[in-house]
Amino acid sequence: MAWRGVSLAGAEFGEGNLPGTHGTHYIYPSLSSVSYFRGKGMNMVRLPFRWERLQPTLSQAFDATELSRLSTFVADATATGATVLLDPHNYARYHGQLIGSAAVPHSAFADFWTRLSVQFKDNPRVAFGLMNEPNEMPTEQWLAAANAALAAIRTAGASNLVTVPGNAWTGAHSWSQNWYGTPNATVMKGIVDPGANMLFEVHQYLDADSSGRSADCVSATIGVERLQDFTAWLRTNGHRALLGEFAGGDNPTCAAALTQMLGHLESNSDVWSGWTWWAAGPWWGGYMYSIEPNGTADKPQMSTLAPFLD
């Protein structure tokens, strides 16, 4: 596995208050969190943040103060040797309007990625996650947005790794399903990366509806079961992927399911490049999936991840 890591949440918080007040509605994670996970053997930090805060007006300059917060975190985190996966945590929307709509044309999304690429293209430890969990849109519309962003990134001269999600919250289990429109398995074959340095990013939770809202996992084998078809699709189509979000509660069934799931990634490392757990960060409190330590005490799920961090 090239990548083993965690989403350090906080900068995307307060979505009901945009732009909101830093320190009140949202916060960037601390370097101490990065250092803790680096010490555990993780080498990737996924950083969720809100597009609207960084770029208050579409196709206009970034907010200097917000860009400084983002850039400072990236510089400090990558100085530890970690790779930072930038994650505009917007669900393919800007102030609630879909990318590809009249309000948020594909050109605006491409502009955002042009500006972000220019900021970080010279740091090889920065990876670009195009968008968190596109949903409730035509899959074809998302493909057009993704291809516009990829073209913009490469035109800007950035050779950085890019992770590309699918539609329908980019669920691995639903990649070939059609309840949300044309399946990702069909449409996302049309992805074009002129830089040939991309991974598909899928998310997969283990509760009954794959939503990640329950601490209960369906069975000890559910993780492998929900990944198998997507793994086969990757191999058939010559692609690789990152499991960008996954988690389970603190109970024996989830521990077994997570262990088998991570084992599946390792045994299929020809098509799986790594994983990032959801989540950690300073403001989670008692959140059931948080692996942010309580002082010096590890959270229970760290013992499940530990064998895969050697």
Using DSSP's 3-state secondary structure scheme, residue 47 falls into: strand
Catalytic residue among 12, 52, 66, 133: 133
- For the segment 134-149, what is each residue's pLDDT rounded down to a tens digit? 999 999 999 999 999 9
| Res 310: pLDDT | 80
| Residue owning tokens 């995307």 | 12
Q: Which CATH number characterizes residue 283's domain?
A: 3.20.20.80
| Res 11: pLDDT | 98
| Res 296: pLDDT | 82
| Res 1: pLDDT | 87
105 — phi, psi (to 5°)?
-65, 160
Catalytic residue among 52, 66, 201, 245: 245
- For the segment 212-264, what is each residue's pLDDT rounded down to a tens digit? 999 999 999 999 999 999 999 999 999 999 999 999 999 999 999 999 999 99
Is-contact 67 53, C-beta < 8 A?
A: no
Cα–Cα distance for residue pair 261/272, rounded to 1 Å: 12
Residue 293 CB neighbour total at 10 angstroms = 16
Is-contact 70 24, C-beta < 8 A?
A: no
**CA dihedral sign of residues 155, 156, 160, 165:** negative
Mean pLDDT of 280-304: 94
Identify which of 210, 188, 195 has the alpha carbon closest to the alpha carbon of residue 143.
188
pTM tops 0.75: yes
Range of the domain at 247: 3-308
Is-contact 285 13, C-beta < 8 A?
A: no
| Res 178: pLDDT | 98
- For the segment 37-92, what is each residue's pLDDT rounded down to a tens digit? 999 999 999 999 999 999 999 999 999 999 999 999 999 999 999 999 999 999 99
Is there a catalytic annotation at residue 52?
A: no
Mean pLDDT of 155-171: 98
Identify which of 240, 247, 300, 248 has the alpha carbon closest to the alpha carbon of residue 265.
240
| Residue owning tokens 């196709």 | 59
Q: Cβ contacts of residue 117 below 8 Å, gap of 6+?
A: 128, 152, 153, 156, 157, 158, 160
Supply the mean pLDDT for the chain. 97
Task: Give the total number of structural domains in the chain.
Answer: 1
Residue-by-residue DSSP string for 156-213? TT----EEE--SGGGBSTTTT--TTSS-HHHHGGG---TT--EEEEEEEE-STTSSS-
- For the segment 263-281, what is each residue's pLDDT rounded down to a tens digit? 999 999 999 999 999 999 9
Is there a catalytic annotation at residue 245?
A: yes
Q: Cβ contacts of residue 233 below 8 Å, gap of 6+?
A: 175, 176, 185, 239
* pLDDT surpasses 90 at 27: yes
Q: Running DSSP on this structure, what letter comes out for residue 42?
A: -
| Res 295: pLDDT | 84
